Amino acid sequence: MKKLFAFTSLALALLSPLHAWAATSIKATVNGMVCAFCAQGIEKRLSQLGAVQTVFVDLKRKTVAVQIKDGQTLDESTIAHEITEAGYDVVKLERVSQSVADIKAQLKK
């Protein structure tokens, strides 16, 4: 029985969706953000997405970081679409294995 349990646990771990090991945040470089109102609009728009846990906008570095809730998925195209619809240009998108708090601390250096 123990061997069956160990095998089942291993099989479940191996068959889990790959997003369990995927990055926890999406980091975007965005042109066109010039003021706190811009940042607030992007934060509000992205925060309304169900899979979003936290949003951080750094105007100086033209960066938007979106942390995805545990167990949820969110693709880059959705983030790009929302930012573009808000009136800004997405220059670059990347998945990173950092929390928004880590990204924020790194950008403050």
Q: Is residue 10 part of a domain?
A: no
CATH classification of the domain holding 52: 3.30.70.100
Check pLDDT > 80 for residue 23: no
pLDDT at position 24, please? 86
Report yes or no on 29 lying in a domain.
yes
Q: Answer whether residue 6 is part of any domain.
A: no
- Domain assignment present for 65: yes
Q: What is the pTM of this model?
A: 0.76
Residue 7 placed within a domain: no
Overall domain count for the chain? 1
Dmax of the chain from CA atoms? 63
pLDDT digits (tens, 9 = 90+) for 27-46: 999 999 999 999 999 999 99
Long-range Cβ contact pairs of 50-56 (< 8 A, separation 24 or more): 53/100, 54/99, 54/100, 54/101, 55/100, 56/100, 56/103, 56/104
* 93 located within any domain: yes
Evaluate whether residue 64 is within a structural domain: yes
Mean pLDDT of 17-24: 49
Placement of tokens 């950092």 in the chain: 98
Q: What is the pLDDT of residue 52?
A: 97
Query: Which residue segment(s) compose the domain that 99 sits in?
Result: 17-108
